[in-house]
Chain A
Amino acid sequence: MNKLGFRLTAQWCLLLWLIRPRSSDYRISFHFIVVRSNFRAARLGVRRADDMHLTLEFGGGLELLFGSQKKHEVEVTSPDDLKEVTMESLLSWIKDNLIKERPEMFVKESSVRPGVLVLINDSDWELCGRLETVLEENDEVIFISTLHGG
């Protein structure tokens, strides 16, 4: 993170600390705001819709399509210099850059194959808009297949 990013983050943290809600119920959303502003600052300072760092994980048998490696640290470039990387563009990026074999086991049309579960930062992607979800720096995306035998 560069200096500007750091200063912005520090300022935001201070501001948010000063106006922090006192009830413990808000702790989660408070934490959330800090983290999000942190990412935004970092993006403002350093990157202009260039590479975005993401952690991808494949499980439930899907890792076999990715050279039997479960965890992948990747730098994703948003397509057509659009500012945002969405789940839809991430999927097409994976299809073009990461998958080693049988892409039809992973994607179907523009989405994942039905039966593949997706979690973004440890929560079901159905909670945050599936393909339209806008990803942020350092987000963690997990794909788990339910299609393998039990």
Chain B
Amino acid sequence: MVRHCELCKAKRAALVRPRNRQQVCKDCFYTAFEEEIHQTIVDNKLFNRGDRVAVAASGGKDSTVLAHVLTLLNKRHDYGLDLFLLSIDEGIAGYRDDSLETVKRNETQYGIPLEVVSYKTLYNWTMDEIVKEIGLKNNCTFCGVFRRQALDRGAAKMKAVKMATGHNADDVAETILLNIVRGDIARLARCTSIITGEEGALPRCKPFKYTYEKEIVMYAYFKKLDYFSTECTYSPNAYRGFAREFIKDLEAIRPQAILDIISSGERFRIDSTAKMPEQGLCERCGYISSQKWCKACVLLDGLNRGLPKLGITRTRGKGLANGVENASGGGKLASKDDRSPSKANIDF
């Protein structure tokens, strides 16, 4: 039996939409998918006319679809955005070098320029060299902390005023659960915001916050978009993996659960007596930080001094501060006057 699209009633249905179990054909799906993202952008005022926006591009499914949809909507609805692709080269042979090829093809496919920033030039370490030093445990900590900062630096260098990332609804739901499990109140409070870091130099936004991963993959598949899907050669984050699997199990039973977790997360109000970390600027590099030195500087300092465990073990406060104070700082020091208390920025 052929099922017809519930919207146009003419064409053959191609998929079931997870948000409402509606059965739609390819064309109606494209329209609904794109226009819902447009609505999210408009309702949340993610961009202003004339903004120069960095699209964080890894070559994976989410960022490839993001680059495609943003260039399309920019033309269709005349946002007047100056878009460019921003990629990070972590220096992982057999993984990032291949996915960068995909991003380079995207550059020509979507007609927007590409900027690549490498760990090697920023930190003088590639991930391959870091793994040689520290082994396969905790390497994701280094990579995550460095990437976040590298994206900000790349965007600043290219004079972007905003950055768009491909985080989707499944990612956001997963992060909410992880922050609950970890009891990380500060991150729990801010991980649901569609725009983060507005107080800082470079706000980040998630146009796919309410977009199901299933639909992103279906869209990429039906539109034959060119994306890269190999797992990183270094071991993935196991803890996050469990949360991911749990979300997918929930989705299989009741797909609405994903949007419901996000909506619960948005409605959390943090107890006013809860102590939140004060955010300031890193004394060494000027990047936003809740400690004296930002995480990237602590990790980098450990690497350079041959003490790579520094900053990984969870000795908060004293241990960390001592480590930093003893460090022979070689970086640029921000003057004390530059320290402006600004709220939440670090997220994953």
- Residue numbers of A with Cβ under 8 A of B are 25, 28-29, 32, 59-61, 64, 113-115, 117, 119, 122-124, 126-128, 142, 144-150
Contacts and interface: CB of A to CB of B under 8 A. Distances in A.
A124 B217 CA distance: 12
A28 to B, nearest CB: 6
B214 A146 contact: yes
Interface string B284-322: 000000000000000000000000000000000000000
Given A61-B231, A114-B249, A150 B63 contact: yes
B11 interface: yes
Interface of B: 2-3, 10-16, 23, 58, 60-63, 166, 168, 170-171, 213-214, 216-218, 221, 229-232, 244-245, 248-249, 251-252
Given A150-B58, A150-B60, A124 B15 contact: yes
Given A59-B229, A147-B248, A150-B58, 7 more contacts: A114-B245, A115-B248, A117-B214, A119-B221, A123-B14, A142-B221, A150-B216
Given A60-B61, A114-B249, A117-B217, A127 B229 contact: no
Contacts of B10: 25
A127 B248 contact: no
A148 B2 contact: no
B103 to A, nearest CB: 13
Contact of B11 (A28, A64, A127, A145): A28
A61 B15 CA distance: 21
B16 A148 contact: no
Nearest to A122: B14
Contacts of B170: 146
Nearest to A115: B248
Contacts, number: 82
A100 to B, nearest CB: 15
A148 B60 contact: yes
Contacts of A127: 3, 13-16, 23
A146 B60 contact: no
Contacts of A119: 221
B248 A144 contact: no
A146 B217 CA distance: 7
Given A127-B23, A150-B63, A144 B221 contact: yes
Nearest to B218: A117
Contacts of B248: 113-115, 147
Given A28-B2, A60-B229, A127-B15, A150 B252 contact: no
A119 B61 CA distance: 18
A54 B229 CA distance: 25
B261 to A, nearest CB: 15
Contacts of B230: 61, 64, 148
25 contacts: A25-B10, A29-B2, A60-B61, A60-B229, A61-B231, A113-B248, A114-B248, A114-B252, A115-B213, A119-B221, A122-B14, A123-B13, A124-B15, A127-B3, A127-B23, A144-B217, A145-B229, A146-B213, A146-B214, A146-B216, A148-B60, A149-B58, A149-B231, A150-B62, A150-B166
B328 to A, nearest CB: 37
Contacts of A29: 2
A76 to B, nearest CB: 23
A115 B212 CA distance: 11
